[in-house]
Structures are given as structure tokens and as C-alpha cells.
Structure 1
Amino acid sequence: MYNKKTEQHYVVKDCPECHNIKNEPSNQYKLYISRASGAFICHRCGVKGSWFDFKNKLDDGHVQITKYETKPTNAEDLNVAQQKVTYQHNLLNSNNSTKQYLIQNRGITAETLQKYQVGTSQFKFLIRNEQTTSSEWKVLECVTFPMSRLDSHSKIQYTKHKIRSITNKSAMKMEPSGTALGLFGYHTIPLNATQIVITEGEYDAMAVHQCTGLPAISLPNGCRSLPVDLLPLLEKFTKIYLWMDDDIPGQQGAEKFAKKLGVSRCFIVHSNLPNQQHSILYKDANDVLLKSNIDMNELIKQAKVLPHDRIMTYGDLKNDVYREMFGMQDGSKPMNGVQSTTLPRFVNQILKGHRRGELTILTGPTGIGKTTLLSQLAIDFASQGVNTLWGSFEIKNVRLIKKMLCQYMGAEQIHERNFNEASQQFEQLPQHFMNFYGTTNVDQVLDAMEYAVYVNDVHHVLIDNLQFMLSGQGTGIERFENMDRAVEKFRKFATQHNVHITLVVHPRKVDDGHELGLSSVFGSAKATQEADNVIIIQNAKDHRFLSVKKNRFDGTIGNVPYRFDKESNRMIELTEEQVERLKAGQLEITY
């Protein structure tokens, strides 16, 4: 079937979905099939999907390529992971505060906790101090969730534990590092099961199983990711119920996962009945368990397949309309996007958060801190589960990551004695880096982006910067035309793949002291016209500020003064009082 193979893929000469390629060599060998999962993507016609989908696209539906190969797990690491299952005894044989929290606050019975082998222990996390902007290590009481999968002999193996603090939502990690991912609750599935419920979180999976008796599992990274090497574990199921959170990220995740798993066998479950007076009462399955008398079996009966991409009814959009108009019951506004913890006025108050499907243009004079801002926000969002892909064409990845690691630790530099500990935490962030540098064809970049979006569930792409990526590709008017085509392609990609693209574009040369505007962005007006957001880092007489010149979401624009804190390697917003003191000469800031 396949004609070539790489370390990760089988490469097929002719894609069955492509139109006639007329034996053109440049049109061949575009279909890549993952050796680990069977997931496929054609870089010519764009068709992609799961192994389940691929088989159904062929006439007989019985093609075979190879036995699924799972990521090898180091024997020593696996032994450590297996030993960590003993954490459950700390929970089940005691009446500690964590056990009481799980039973009383989460509504999970001791029987369910024991079946899912949930445990408890104390772990050390790097916690940021919002007042001092520094970070310090703290020991926190945590819940441990074992992740499992099948080994090459079809036996359950425990590969990792997800570890979550019961007091600090952001304190979460996977251990041990380097081992293959697994699914929480996979060991509870009966051998003859043909249907399964997949939830966003561990508490939701246990709630569903506790109330319905159906086999229920949760994903290792919530609604943000369904790693392709886990797809073989789900291949045997003829019916899959996707019960993600009833918010924007959850429903976006459900749509993406259905396309990965095979739309025809996936049914989307909502935590709210369609005839409820208010559309959004309950966020997830655990919320339903705690706050309602709704029969979860009824919610599962109401599940429907994903509607066609181009054909929708008001019923399909009703909940999204409600969310945009009124938000959630807790007062949150999910349409506002992911919020920032480090630059709240700039991101939360003006931009209204970080949203998928948008294109952001960032510009500013050379050396003013564009990469610093990008890396700070990327870490901020990645720490909240936003899968990120970096395309650094001006700064090599090693130097970029060195800067990011210092920012993550909130330190001017990392001491050698702290490197391994810091790296272990930093490695938990869902970040990926493209291996490009300097001039690169935009279509090569888009190919890499498309692969990362499908395989790694990336939904934030940073391109730093456009001029370096296109350097040497034309002169004069051709240079502007190349830029316009690249911007147009990035805009189209953001919309079609529902990802946020942040694109750095250098400004035109202006005289010192002149404030930059929309017309200062280099090239034609294409970039600013296509963009949803335009951000400029400006130089004032006595300080610098972040200027939002365009915000398509709700039209809010404005300026946020900041200072650069050398000790933490981060930008810090200035208060109005600090700005007044600067103007009066009572406060001095260096950048």
C-alpha cells in the first residue's frame, strides 16, 4: 500500500481523494499516514482524518498497512509509573482532607474512587507571586489520576499520573516525563465494550460512570488535545459519546475530536437539556451530578452527530448565542477568550482575551521588546492549556527557549543547580517549535502548521517575523506582493483551522519621536485589513506602552503603559499613578 516511509509516517504515492494528478512528480507522495496511529493527511488536497475514516474512504474498508506501533516506554520509567499506583492507598485507607474533598465537594463515592484508582500525595510546584512577580516552589496537597493504555500484548500498562492540586487550579503536571500518554479510566473498560463516553476531565468521567454505569474515560489534556498516538486505543468502539464542557473551548474540542475519531461514530453530549428554560445551567458532567436531578442517561440519549460544516440550524447555534449574550451561570464570558494573568489590562480589558480563529498583527521599532511580549503571552496562555506552535525565523529556537525559560521562572537567569527542576516544569507546557530559520517558503510553513494543528491540536501559532521568513524572496513591488499573499494565506488558515495566529511585522522607518499607526505597518494595507487585532509597542518620552489600534471583536482600543522588570524578565503594566509620577519626574524607569 505505502511506497515510502519515514520514522513517523508511511508516505503514499497516490492519494485516493485527490483529483487527477496527471503523473506529475510534484503532485505525488503527498499522503502521510502516521505509523503510530493511522491518522492521515494529504498535503495536496487537504483530506485528513483517523484510521477509521481512511478505511471507510476505500471501497472494501479492509485495507491494512501495519500493526499499530505505540511510543516506546523506558522500562525504568514504566516501573516508576507502576509504583506510583500505590498513591491510592494514601487516599482509600484514610480520612484525610483530600478524600473528604473528593467525596463531599465532587460527589464521587469511595467505590468509584477505588475503581478508578484515584490517589493522593504531596508534590512541589512553582507558584507565581502576583505581588512580587517572582516565583517560588511550594508543596501542595494533590490528587493523582493514573493514566493507562494497552501494551503490545494487549495488557493494561500504567504509564503516567496526572497530578492536580486541590487548592490551586493552575498547579498540574504529568509524571514521569518521557513515558507514553494514556487515558484516565482506560483500565475500567470491559473487554466486550463497543461504546464509550469520553469526557474533558477526570471528575466528569467518574461522574458519568457512577450515574450511568457506562464505561467512561477522560483525555490527558482536557479539551485542548487528543494525541494521535491514543487513537488506536479507541479504534474498537462503534459509538463514541464526546462529553466536553458546555463552553466555547469544550465544544470546539468536541468538534475537532469528532473529526479525528470519525464523525459517523461520534455523538456530542451536552450537559443541559434542549428544553431547559435557560440554555447554560451546568458546565460539565460533574456539575450535573452536584447541582441537578437530571438523569445523565437522558442527556446521552439526546446526543447528536456533528452537524455539517456548511449547513446549520438555529438549534445548532442556540447555546453559542446564549453564551455570547449572557455568559455562564458563574458570570464568566467564554466568548471573551483565554484571559491573561500577567497583562490583565492589555489582554482582558481591551482585547477581551485570546480567541481562536483570529489573526493578530504585532509591530514596533527594532529592539523594543516584540519577542519579549510574545514569549510572555505564549507562556501565559500555554500555562492555561493553550497548545502553542512557535515559528521563530529571526531568533534560533535555543536562544528563544532560553529567554522563555527565564520568563517562566520569573528570573533574570537560571542557575545550573535549578536547571533540571525548572526544565521539568517548563516541559509540561503544551509548546512546539518549528525547525525553520531565515528565509522559508510560506507553503512549507503552512504544511508544518497544518500537521501540528491535526497531530498536536495546536491552536495558537506565532510567526516571528514575516520579513525574515520572506527575506530574499523578491525585490521592489514583488516583495510587497509576496507579503500580501503570505498574509492572505495566514488569514485563511486561521479561519479554516480555527486557530489564533500572531504575526510579527516590522514597521516602516519613521522619525524618532513619532508615534506609529496602522499605516506604519510595513507593506501594503493588506496586513492591517486582514487582521482582527493590530498591536503596536510604542515609545513615549518617559515610558513605553502597548497600543491596541484595531480590535474587531468589540472595537475597544487603547493604550497600556508598562515597564520591563529585569529581575523577572517580564513586562509589567504601570498604574495611572505611576504614569503621573513618571511625567512629573518623580519615578525613573529603565528598559
Structure 2
Amino acid sequence: MLRRMNVVACARRLFGVCTAKRNVQSLSDVPVVYVSKMKSVLSANKVSFEDGFTCLTTSCPVGCRKDNSYSGNFYVNKVTGLFVCHACGQMGQWQWLERRLSDMKRLKGDISPPVFPEQSSARPESVPDDVLSRFQPASTVSDKQLSKCLGHLGLKHVKREQLARLGAMVGKSEILLPLRGSNQNIGAWKLFFRDDANSLQENLLGNRLTGQLLLSNEEAWHSDNVVLVTSGADLLALTSQKVPAICVEPQLLPQEVLPRLEHFKQICIWFGEHQLQAQRVARKLGLSRCRIVRAPELRKGPHEVLVTNGDKLASKVKLAESLLHPAIVSFSNLRHEVLDAVTRQDKNRGLPWNRFPALTSVLGGFRDGELTILTGPTGSGKTTFLSEYSLDLCQQGVSTLWGSFEIRNTRLAKTMLTQMAGMNLEKNLHRFDEFADNMEQLPLHFLDFHGQQPLKTVMNAVNHAQYVYDLGHVIIDNVQFMLGLGDSESRFIDRFYRQDQVIQAFRSFATATNCHVTLVVHPRKETEGVDLTVNSIFGSAKASQEADNILIIQTTATSDMKQRKFLQVCKNRFSGDLGIMQLNFNKDAMSFAKKTAPVKNMEVKSPKEEEPLEVHLDLGKSKLDQFELFMKTHANMLK
């Protein structure tokens, strides 16, 4: 019998170690290519592709030889642009592929067969004849010799069928397992033996083929899930329990081999003590599909866990943890949405109000999924304005749900019908049916509540309406009237806290359903004659913090004892633009839409800037004084 170290030396001499060299370029010589450009080039050349975890996958676009065993799959690495063709086994850089596609498009397909870039690769290795005298195929070795060899190596759990499917060679006290590269050829071997300290060792013998893999069996490649390990002993332990596994080198997972792993939906990485290498491999393969076995009691690897505890390894694989947190995303997850926001900025501004163009110019329009808060003094016309505000959108097809807790639905509907008609219907009864028929066609619905209601009851009704009517706009008028304290456990809860619950519930509803919510919130009592601010909203600061838009109806008595009103935009999360617009009330039409003054930008401008409407604010004056000064200054331009 050969001595152990002599076997190793002999095998190294027979097969050679690290004899193959690759043509390596300096990193500075490799042009940077981005996946967005790859996709653009492929699409421009009418090459359809699938966006995978690590590669763009398509059929070979350059007309190489087809090979039925791989269905002509062609992979382009999304990071480096390296392409690998499984039809002919060729690979190359993105720049070559880009030029080839350009030539094919320019010459309309009348082009000679491709000449791929020259590559250096390890040639397939076969077992020399003199080795066959010391190692026999696992399928033909005697039961006695196989049992003795496996017992000596501590691999009693391994079956003959496993070794045969792997193409293993069995000696008296050693086992050879073939390693295959991305082209499926045997490029090296892994030798199992016991060293002088009686520890199980594995040595790599033969040409170090780029991306060597110790294949478990064909079943592993037909599975959607796989376990990656770093030793042949771990692989044998897993496959003995019918867990699909592949052995890789922890220090090397080159891009040439990534296409072979592309089809796996979920990859468990069980690298034992090599936790840093496991994280690196997970990032390379795609964090979204990778999980890592990190439990301290499993750091020994599958082989040691099986030998020591005799546990079922399939249950241990389920303990693997993802490196991703479901609440954390990266820019790559948001890239397409950001691109859409940049390229479709005008469309993303929102639906404009036909009745309030000045409001549209400040807010940018009505947008889905936002929360708007409207406040103003008692009797300032909040409900009247909001009914027209919502009617304008409803007439443009926005499915609307009105929740009026302060006034009856009949009175609200009468106001909206009058605003829709644009006239006093009491004086034009003959046209009532005409406008009523038109209003019945609108996607408008009402909550049949009045007075205080528990939040849970209201939200159940709102969620039901959202499901049935696909709501785009929900109005609650107003939050204070809706607050219900009927529940025994809620009876003594602070009203500020209850209001915060309402704000949070509707904020979550708007975000989850992409439905715009408008809440009317009364202000706290302020000194008469003082303009309202964001801080005037009743309750805690939560309302102003959660809101995307805050609108305040300001009222001031003029010298002739008349009341002047204007709408102030105090918060605009979309664009940040703030401004005011005058509200002129038409009593017959119950409308604020007539004679609406242009918007004044509240931003302080430099005196050197020349704009059609130049505004210089005196911060010592009230908003009404500023507004009147603005109107007088630009009276001729606004006619």
C-alpha cells in the first residue's frame, strides 16, 4: 500500500497543480460598463432577454453553433459584461459582443461566423492508466474494500450510489472525486485522505479550472433550491440525506461560473467557520435569494454536525438566515421608480383643478396617496370650499367618499348640486332634474354617519368602500366631530391621543391604498385678528407632521366691515411651493371658483431679481396687509 504522503506526491505529479494560466488584464485596461447600457444595447438590437439575479439571459445573439444540451442559453454578467455561451462554450468581454451586434445590424445579418476572442482554458483531464491500478470506479469496487475505505475516512454514511453518480474513484484508504468546470469537463480532482494526525483532509489535484465545482449529482441541477458548501465531506453528508448541494471554493467564485447558478431561486450558504466568505458569496449571487447558516452550533459544517449529532440536515438548512431586512431597500430597488419620477415629472404633478387653477399652480395638482389637512376658523367656509374642491375632482373621474360628521348628507348634497349647476336651484327648479341626473352619474358616495363615531367603525366602512368603489379620494369633515369615546377603555383617554390615532389611521390608509385623504381639523382658539398658522391646528404636532399638504382658510374683517377670505398653502411636501389665493364667494352658486386672484409666491425674492410679479415682503406686516400691498402694486398686470 502506498504511504499517504507518497499518494499525494504521486497524484500531484500525475495530474499537475496550478499549471494553467489565464490571460489577465490590468483593471485599468478593462472599460467600465453599466447594466443600463447593456439593456439598452440589447433592446436596440431587438435581442429579448430576462433580467436575472447575476446575469442577463437570452438565446445566443451572434449566431454560434447550437447545442441542444444547453438550449443555446447565453449569459451576460450584469456587473462586468462578461458573456458566456453554453451553446459553444465560448466567453468574452462585453465590448466584443457590442461590436458584433453593431456589425450584424449594420450589415443586416450578412456577416461571417463569429471569431471569438482567444482564451486559455484548462484541458479536460482523464485518469492516467497507472492510477487506475490503485483506484477503482466506485460502481465496480468490492463491497469489502468500499466499506473499509469509507470506515477509515469516517464516511460510513456515504452510499455506493452516491459515489457512483459523482464519478468517484476508490482506493484502499483514499477517494478521488472529480471537479467539473462551467463547461462540465473534468478539470481537476479532490483527494480525500487521513493525515498523520488522523484528521480527514482534502487536497486539490490537477489543473485549477476557473470556477471549479464539485457536482453532487444531476438532481441538484434540476432543483430550485441548493446548498453551497466548501468541502467534499460536507457535500457527501448533505447528499446522503437527499439535500441538493454543490461544493465551491470559499476563496474563489469567479464570474464564469455564475451562469450555472443562475436558475436557483433560493441558495443556502453553509460555509461553517468561513462566515466572511459566505457573506461575500451571498452578495455576489444576489442577497435576495441567499440565506446563510450562522447558528454557533452549526459552525462546524454539515459533515461534523452529522457525525457528531446524527441530526437530520434538512431541518438545519431551514435555520439559515437572510442578510436582508424586509424593511430596508437599496437604491437599485428604487431606480425604476426614480427614473419614472424624473422622466414623467409633469404627469406626476397630479390632476389639476379646473375650478381652482391658482391652487393647481401652487400644489401642482391632486396626487394619489397623499394626506391633506384643511383648517380655518368656525364659519369660514371650510365645508363649502371642500365640497367644491372635491366636486371638481369627482367630475374628472376621481371616485370620492364623503364623510360628513358635522352636517347632514342632504345639506351637503344640496350644496354640491348647487355648485355643479352654478346657479341658485331654488330659483330654477325647472332645471333640478337635469343637474340631479348628471350628479347621479358621478362616482360620489357618502358615509351615513352623523356626530361622534368610534374610529374602528369608520375605518371598517372606509375600507369596505375602498374595496367596492376603488376610491381615489376620502374626505372626513371633521376629525373632532368624528372622535368617538364610547368604548369603555377609551372613555378616559386624552383627546389629543385619540386625534393622533385618527390621523395615524388615515395616514396608513392613504399609503396602503394609494388613496388621497383630506381631513378637516378645527384650529385651537386663537386671539381675534391674528392669522392662523400650522401651529394653530388643534391637537398635537402629529397632524402637521403626517400631512403632505396643509391648507388654511384665513379670514379678516376689512375697514368697510366686510369679511375677506383667502386660502393659504402652508405645507406642500411635493414641491415645497407655498402661496395664497383670494377666495371670492358667489352666494347664488355657493362657489369660491369665481373671480379667483392669481397666486402670490410666499418665497422672499432678492430685489435684484426681475420677474413679472416681483414681491418684497415686509415681515412686520400681517399676511392680509402683505396681500393687499401685492394686489395694489400689480393691479394693472392683474386686470
Into which bin does the TM-score normalised by the smaller protein fall?
0.3 to 0.5
TM-score for the superposition, normalised by structure 2: 0.40
Determine which structure has more spread, i.e. the larger CA radius of gyration. 2
